[in-house]
Chains A and B, each alone.
Chain A
Amino acid sequence: MDFLLNAVVNGLMSGAIYVLVALGLTLIYGVLHIINFAHGSLLMLGMYVVFFLVTRWGLDPYLSLPLVAGTGFVVGYLLYRGVIGRFSHGKDENILLVTLGLSIIFENAALFFFSAHTNIIDLDYIDDILIIGEIFIPYTKAVSFVAALLICLALSLYISRSDLGKAIRAVAKERHGARLAGINVEGIYAVSYGLGIACLGAAACLLMPSYYVSPSVGHSFVLVAFTVVVLGGMGSFVGALVGGLLIGVAESVSAAFLGEQLGQIAIPVIFILVLLAKPTGLFRGAQ
């Protein structure tokens, strides 16, 4: 029983990171109606940034979070303005292919500059473990769990309360109407893309202390993030939250029962079943 309980709790902890990664994806989908295939490779770049901040300048990953998230926003904004918006002519499938092209470039540029080595960071608090009754939680995972949920809360409050958030929601619901009301739709697209990538920057900071980085690390997150978003409902914030936690638990429980190797099958299988049975997800994309 403890075995199962530990698997569930650990699943919830990694699920919180998935929520953050998926939140960026669902925001971009909800507003721009595009599938951002470069999501995993941008997360990978963020993790390299965190890695170099730690190893070169000794900057703590948690303290660097505002910096990395801010950089993520700028990079995302410029990427949309400079490449994605310009090259895709507004066709859905073209955007998918352009973001695929970006992910190929990022991943192989990382391979070129950083080699295929797997890198981890070393901090003095990394091995600390929180013990609550029979449950063992690595300290870093507990911190990332709380931080990820706080960031999600902050972002959804911002989207629902601020003027910019209102503009984003207006564009998501009815882009022509929003344009008539004087909203700069292209600008909102770029800002939303930037916000999505800022989420990735934050996720990279929270992930790095308990994970590794290599040029292909994005792969494992791409499918997870898509699964979360499809399960929760494309464009839905609540969906990303519930979906992320569910997927984290499913992954960790199936690894506990089927072993590390075969356990990985849970995510693609859930993904296929959801797409086949209920492609609109648990929560319809409503913001």
Chain B
Amino acid sequence: MSQLEIKPKGVFSGYGASILLLLVALVYPFVVTSNYALDVGMLILFTAFLGQSWNIAGGFAGLLSFGHTIFFGIGAYCSAIMVATYGINPWMAWMLAIAFGAALGAIIGYLSFRFGLRGSYFALITLAFAEMFRVLADSSPITRGGLGILIPVKQGASQLQFADPRAFYFLALLLCLIGLGLAYWLKSSRFGARLEAIRENEDAARALGIHVLKEKIKCLALSGALAAAGGSFYVQKYLYIDPQLAFSVARSVEMLLVAMIGGAGTVFGPLIGAATLGVLAEVTRALSDAQGLSLVVYGTVLILIIGFLPNGLISLLRRGPRKQGGRHA
């Protein structure tokens, strides 16, 4: 993808639009009146964050993962076990869960990439890891098996439980901003450039002296840490986790979908994808109560995007002005 970096003039380009978006996100919880609308906004930001975690591995470095919920689930279970079983402070548990996610990312990365698994094979092995963790969580006493773990209710900011539902909205916004910041940093740092080089041509990257294995491991550790942070957040918000919630194929697919649909390997792609799918979900829900319809739409959108807009919805925002410029200049 050796596109010339043309300064985009679209709606979402530049600092002005970003600040406008941020303002909208900050004001939103004070404008909406229902808790439902607040939850929709929170979920969009949260899904965008999880999508960003996939994007850092799958988009920037081309590590196509089909089982990214491994890290989400590990983060969720680490937090839940530490808080519910050992009584550790939830904020502390959150930080430890992030460290666990990073470590697991490094381990899975080391195992997979040391043996040279690429592309589709890496996708399959992550799928198998997620299934292995699901079975383990389902049958081990530490995770309380299929019953799942309930977090005892103890309200208070120090316990990471809030009476005001807006608190979790702002926490999700903060996570989303951290994700965007990291992606922005990757776009402009040498580390990010090395990852893109590996994605485009691994052998050429190696020939240029890039330590491919090391960079890939670092990338998956970073991505795993983010997803684990998301899992921890989920546990504190819903105060419950079970094997199906933690390690389902559906969550892996959702993380991949928002990034792919918005635009993999771009800073704002996951956010655009999450917002699009969030709105689509609300529309289909308004049309019909039946299960499954919104995901049928998601799947169709995915195929259409791959067919017609391989760089995601974000390319619509960029392409418009460039084409015009080309024609009239």
Measured CB to CB, the residues of A under 8 A from B are: 35, 83, 86-89, 92-94, 96-98, 100-105, 107-112, 115-116, 215, 219, 223, 226-227, 230, 259, 261-262, 264-265, 267-269, 271-272, 275-277, 279
Tell me the smallest distance from the CB of B110 to a CB of chain A, in Å: 11
A93 contacts B115, CB within 8 Å?
A: no
B280 within 8 A of A: no
Rounded to whole Å, the gap between the CB of A238 and the closest CB of chain B is 21
B249 within 8 A of A: yes
Please choose the segment from B16-24, B268-276, B301-309, B318-326 that sits at the chain A interface, where 4 or more of its residues have CB less than 8 A away: B301-309
Q: A86-B307, A108-B295, A223-B128 are known contacts. Are A101 and B138 too (CB-CB below 8 A)?
A: no
Instruction: Flag if A275 contacts B125 (CB, 8 Å).
Output: yes
Chain B residues 127 to 155 lying within 8 A of chain A, measured CB to CB, are 127-129, 131-132, 135-136, 138-139, 145
Q: Is the CB of B299 within 8 A of A101?
A: yes
Given contacts A87-B303, A100-B253, A112-B292, 8 further A-B contacts (CB under 8 A): A83-B303, A88-B307, A93-B119, A105-B303, A223-B131, A230-B124, A261-B135, A262-B139
Residues of A within 8 A of B253 (CB): 100, 104
Total interface residues in chain B, CB < 8 Å: 42
- Asked if B127 and A262 make an inter-chain contact with CB atoms under 8 angstroms apart, the answer reads no
In the complex, what's the smallest C-beta–C-beta distance from B23 to chain A, in angstroms? Answer: 35
Q: Is the CB of B310 within 8 A of A268?
A: no
> Known: A93-B64, A100-B253, A279-B115. Contact between A226 and B303, CB under 8 A?
no
Distance in Å from the Cβ of A18 to the closest Cβ of chain B?
16
Identify whether the interface residues of B are mostly helix, strand, loop, or mixed: helix
A83 proximity list for chain B (CB < 8 A): 303
Given A35-B120, A98-B306, A100-B253, also A112-B128 (CB < 8 A): no
Complex: A195 Cα to B128 Cα, angstroms = 27
Contact status A97-B135, CB under 8 Å? no
Query: Once the chains are docked, how many angstroms separate the CA of A116 from the CA of B131?
Result: 21
Report which residue of A35, A96, A261, A272 has the largest number of chain B beta carbons within 10 angstroms of its beta carbon.
A272
Q: Is B123 an interface residue (CB 8 A)?
A: yes
CA distance A219 to B131 in the complex (A): 10
Which residue on chain B has the smallest CB distance to residue A34?
B120
B300 adjacent to chain A (CB < 8 Å): yes
Interface string of B56-74 (1 = CB under 8 A from A): 0000000010100000000
- Alpha-carbon gap, A259 to B135, bound state (A): 12
Is B290 interfacial (CB 8 A cutoff)?
yes
Is B111 part of the binding interface, using a Cβ–Cβ cutoff of 8 Å? Answer: yes
